[in-house]
Structure 1
């Protein structure tokens, strides 16, 4: 019954099925081949159970006289056709929505378990019967996204300015200057800890001392203490972060013992998202892994402490890892044998590599900086020639990236842009570019207008999945009118069905949305025919 309920919920949320009698054969096709693959994290082999639930729903609709016998027969015929197609749709990662893609990449259990943890079993500890593919179902095998790292000089400078690191060094110097020694086990003496708190105004000198020892800032042999050779600041910083997220700190880091234990998972989530995370979402994460069950957590105090440790940066709304923390976590992942790729600097690459890099999912701020740096190294004409030349015959998303960047260029790029007038896929964009700048250009035909509308919207599919509300608002303000949508199904474009389906589920005007769904059905039928 849970599957049947989920079918009804999705039909209501995405397909305007407000009454049971609103179900149609097309509803089931949209649900099982479009909505489920986008929204539901489920293995392909579960498709048969979902189709069985759909058949149960058809039986119920018939028994309650919500539909007639002929409609039920049509629905069952559609379900028979869908059954072998649905496992393929569930396995097709290109159909995943943002949330499903993220959680699939992180591992189904990673948000509940705090992500991959250094304590997770290593490949050597896994059963010998497991296939040696290097990939399994444990969160530790979830692929990490590529990250952009600051220069070593900037990272080292930043690490030395971290208040926690500064206090660790102050404590070590204070211990040396006073001839103080640790305990036989290398711990800070209670008397010294009390004096350090009073004289140095540090909150937890015992934690600072443990960090100093772990990071190699001091060496302890029995009761002797002396300066180690001056270590590389980044080596010190890597050890500090590893200590914070991996060792037993009993609440000394965040102020909450339970959260200290899950600090690796929190940092791992921020590392994987690579974007500022709204503070309420961080709190939801903390609640989601059950930490608040053990008592109230003061998130403001947690953020303050983590900022003191140099791990996060925060404003009133968002939380993100510091560049130094990103570097240190990558060092930790690499040390654990995980593949932690570094995002290439796109400023000096060719146009194809630039487009590929922009499509890899790097954050918006990083992408903007890369585009500006790339354009800054070329004349407008050179940039246009390289970008448009790189996407001749390419998929619409790559073409959309190139056209979007070329749209930033002024009339100086016209000779290079005009050379692509004879290419069918680029011609509508070229004509529009020239006309927008008041330059001589042929008139767009109606078919070219339709084709460019579909091609432009194809680029928006990913962004629409990320932020459907903003997409719907933009479409309401400047989207194609109903008569254009009605004709889009005729366009010979590989993404026309996907674009029309996007409009059908996103547009606020229900009449235009319905027209888009009808056009999508016509486009699918045309493709099949």
Structure 2
């Protein structure tokens, strides 16, 4: 999978390897490949490319429990055989091409040489291997299916044959790398849409939305007729590809309604700049819906990691220190950060873990305010046993305010009141953290107004606060404060803070 290295995605919530391995074994295409691997034996004949001899396809179909007379049975058997060979579930010995040529010359086509096949060593991993080994087999099967999905259908290939029986790729307008990159891009977008919604893959994505994500230029308003037609073409291409990807367990897919296709025009298929059709949910679903399965999330993430994309998963930080935890979850959405923090705390003695978190939250670097916010988030679920570690930092200039807030929220008595310097410092730190976490949100002006309303002459004092982000925060308050007079005072204070900092 091609991708830009060092690009960080939101974290994904993965099922356990054991659960994923069970899903892999239950994927219809993979299960058929396993059955054919067990069926392979001394009488199995293969061609030069390891493909199953055409005369044996009905027998292979029967081994899969399919009706050999069914026109799709041979296709299913051929696909499953190719997966079995590519994954090592089957070992093939291809025919000697010179021997095959001699046999054909002597006995005609019916007497041509064949290779042989037998169950491969990796077949034993299906029942005796660790979950990770099963998943490695499934990933190899996925690569085969993705390669097949990027190939034009048979009718297009036949139409593109030249007089010599070779495929004229110019007439076909098919570039293998371009097609593979397109499918990779689609799956990357589907993954991103999934993890952006929480990473569990619960919501299906309308097919026109995915098609539009690959076709409609960024920032385009009303798409042109040409762009709409390209969205429609991409949508139908994806419809065919997701039909091929569903049997391997990558996606759950509702195809485009064939009756709808008979009725709809290109404009109907891609209405609006997003490419999503107008209408209610039922109407949208008729244009096709796709969802990555938990196994699909695992598979696409594995391919991204191999391509150099930073694609974190919840739980990966459980064995690391608090400094790595806070630095990393500072880049996560809040719900994902909370899930990661909970897993980190679950494997530790709470008093020691809280002390480690508080120590990691210190600092005057640019990321420190957000680390303290995530530390506060981590402490929110801590019980009374955390109190000694929290009390130990009451006199700390950077953590004392955070500690007082935690103790006050739990109704703990005997908590010393903060001095004015600590109150102002904590206000600046809190706003700096919110800006780093979410940017200038609609809620931030309300928070700013609330924090400043409790302190008369706030901006008279705020510019003197010894915090690295003081000027930056005051400038933001000057832009965002809902009261025009207060906003003006904030801008003046920001100027003084900049001058003071040199």
Q: Shared fold by TM > 0.5?
A: yes
Residue 370 of structure 2: aligned partner: 397
Residue 316 of structure 2: aligned partner: 345
Residue 434 of structure 2: aligned partner: 460
Cα 1:168–1:415, aligned 2, differ >3 Å: closer, same or farther? Answer: same
Cα 1:157–1:218, aligned 2, differ >3 Å: closer, same or farther? Answer: same
Tell me, in whole angstroms, the C-alpha distance in 1 between the residues paired with 2:362 and 2:6.
35
Cα 1:313–1:371, aligned 2, differ >3 Å: closer, same or farther? Answer: farther
Cα 1:217–1:305, aligned 2, differ >3 Å: closer, same or farther? Answer: same
Deviation at 1:366, TM superposition (A): 5.0
Alignment partner of 2:213 out of 278, 281, 285:
285
Cα 1:285–1:413, aligned 2, differ >3 Å: closer, same or farther? Answer: same
Whether 1:473 aligns to 2:473 is no
Whether 1:442 aligns to 2:416 is yes
1:418-460 C-alpha deviation (Å, 9 max, x unpaired): 2212111222222222222222222234443332222122222
Whether 1:428 aligns to 2:292 is no
Tell me, in whole angstroms, the C-alpha distance in 1 between the residues paired with 2:485 and 2:67.
70
Deviation at 1:152, TM superposition (A): 4.7
Tell me, in whole angstroms, the C-alpha distance in 2 between the residues paired with 1:506 and 1:303.
46
TM-score normalised over the length of structure 1: 0.58
Cα 1:451–1:203, aligned 2, differ >3 Å: closer, same or farther? Answer: farther
Higher radius of gyration, 1 or 2:
2
Whether 1:166 aligns to 2:86 is no
Residue 142 of structure 2: aligned partner: 241
Alignment partner of 2:50 out of 153, 173, 186:
186
Tell me, in whole angstroms, the C-alpha distance in 2 between the residues paired with 1:428 and 1:261.
51
Tell me, in whole angstroms, the C-alpha distance in 2 between the residues paired with 1:252 and 1:311.
20
Q: Indicate if the aligned counterparts of 2:390 and 2:403 stay in contact, CA closer than 8 A.
A: yes
Trace 1:313-324 onto structure 2 (pairs within 5 A): 322=293, 324=295
Tell me, in whole angstroms, the C-alpha distance in 2 between the residues paired with 1:320 and 1:445.
54
1:91-110 C-alpha deviation (Å, 9 max, x unpaired): xxxxxxxxxxxxxxxxxxxx
Deviation at 1:261, TM superposition (A): 5.5
Alignment partner of 1:227 out of 119, 126, 139:
119
Tell me, in whole angstroms, the C-alpha distance in 1 between the residues paired with 2:234 and 2:192.
27
Deviation at 1:461, TM superposition (A): 2.1
Tell me, in whole angstroms, the C-alpha distance in 2 between the residues paired with 1:271 and 1:375.
28
Gaps of 5+ in 1: 1-115, 118-138
1:105-162 C-alpha deviation (Å, 9 max, x unpaired): xxxxxxxxxxx63xxxxxxxxxxxxxxxxxxxxx655556697776654443332122
Q: Indicate if the aligned counterparts of 2:370 and 2:433 stay in contact, CA closer than 8 A.
A: yes
Residue 497 of structure 1: aligned partner: 471
Tell me, in whole angstroms, the C-alpha distance in 1 between the residues paired with 2:290 and 2:459.
44
Trace 1:290-439 onto structure 2 (pairs within 5 A): 292=230, 295=233, 297=235, 306-312=245-251, 322=293, 324-325=295-296, 328=299, 338=308, 345-359=316-330, 361-362=331-332, 367-393=337-363, 395-439=368-412
Tell me, in whole angstroms, the C-alpha distance in 2 between the residues paired with 1:162 and 1:346.
30
Aligned residue for 2:467, secondary structure, equals coil
Cα 1:145–1:414, aligned 2, differ >3 Å: closer, same or farther? Answer: same
Tell me, in whole angstroms, the C-alpha distance in 1 between the residues paired with 2:42 and 2:486.
76
Aligned residue for 1:226, secondary structure, equals strand
Deviation at 1:216, TM superposition (A): 2.0
Cα 1:473–1:391, aligned 2, differ >3 Å: closer, same or farther? Answer: closer
Tell me, in whole angstroms, the C-alpha distance in 1 between the residues paired with 2:291 and 2:403.
40
1:398-420 C-alpha deviation (Å, 9 max, x unpaired): 22222221233234422221221
Deviation at 1:202, TM superposition (A): 6.2
Tell me, in whole angstroms, the C-alpha distance in 1 between the residues paired with 2:230 and 2:36.
34
Residue 211 of structure 1: aligned partner: 83
Cα 1:141–1:229, aligned 2, differ >3 Å: closer, same or farther? Answer: same
Tell me, in whole angstroms, the C-alpha distance in 1 between the residues paired with 2:427 and 2:57.
69
Q: Indicate if the aligned counterparts of 1:347 and 1:373 stay in contact, CA closer than 8 A.
A: yes
Tell me, in whole angstroms, the C-alpha distance in 1 between the residues paired with 2:44 and 2:480.
68
Gaps of 5+ in 2: 96-113, 126-133, 157-173, 198-202, 218-226, 255-280
Tell me, in whole angstroms, the C-alpha distance in 2 between the residues paired with 1:247 and 1:301.
11
Aligned residue for 1:347, secondary structure, equals coil
Aligned residue for 2:432, secondary structure, equals helix
Aligned residue for 2:117, secondary structure, equals strand
Tell me, in whole angstroms, the C-alpha distance in 2 between the residues paired with 1:365 and 1:300.
33
Tell me, in whole angstroms, the C-alpha distance in 1 between the residues paired with 2:152 and 2:322.
49
Trace 1:29-44 onto structure 2 (pairs within 5 A): none
Aligned residue for 1:225, secondary structure, equals strand
Aligned residue for 2:144, secondary structure, equals helix
Tell me, in whole angstroms, the C-alpha distance in 2 between the residues paired with 1:494 and 1:460.
15
Aligned residue for 1:219, secondary structure, equals strand
Higher relative contact order structure (alpha carbons within 8 Å, sequence separation ≥ 6): 2
Alignment partner of 2:151 out of 246, 250, 253:
250
TM-score normalised over the length of structure 2: 0.60
Q: Indicate if the aligned counterparts of 2:407 and 2:415 stay in contact, CA closer than 8 A.
A: yes
